[in-house]
Amino acid sequence: MRKDLDVNFVILLETHISSVWRERVRNRLGLNGNFEVKARRQSGGIWCMWDSNLCKVEVLSHNFQTVHMKIKDRNANQWLLTAVYGSPNRGFRKSLWEDLHNIGREVNIPWCVIGDFNAILNDHERSGGYVTT
């Protein structure tokens, strides 16, 4: 599968899978590096996988909403990557934004922040769930 797609780095969110399926996915993708924040009950989960022959990944910090990593490629280029799964809980999401703000104050190399923030600007963007006030 990996050769067909030329995948070198994958981030999966809301990972509610058993350890048996987890190993099948890893083997199928052929990615030998990984770090996972397991889902909490029915929410969250961040699973990062990469080809450690192509890049060195150092997990700098993590919590139930983020995995913050430094990536170094074979040419010694370095950058930061933060994978996000924002909690549906508004209070927890507030701490997510505070965490990202604090990380951002220390950043001095390129930084990419990606994922599901579970945040919208306007209620007309919402699909299901409760209307916020």
Given this model, what pLDDT does residue 122 score?
Answer: 77
Query: Contact at 8 Å (CB) between 82 and 68?
Result: yes
> What span, in angstroms and rounded, lies between the C-alpha atoms of 80 and 84?
13
Residue 101 lies in a domain: yes
How do residues 120-129 score in pLDDT, each as one tens digit? 877 776 676 5
The distance from CA 118 to its chain's CA centroid, rounded to whole angstroms, is 13
Given this model, what pLDDT does residue 37 score?
Answer: 93
Given this model, what pLDDT does residue 128 score?
Answer: 63
How do residues 29-88 score in pLDDT, each as one tens digit? 889 999 999 887 777 899 999 999 999 999 999 999 999 999 999 999 999 999 999 998
- The CATH number linked to 114 is 3.60.10.10
Residue 101's pLDDT band, with cuts at 50, 70 and 90, is very high
Given this model, what pLDDT does residue 131 score?
Answer: 55
Domain count, the chain: 1
Half-sphere exposure of 4 (CA within 13 A, CB side): 3
- Domain range holding 30? 2-125
Residue 1 has pLDDT above 60, yes or no: no
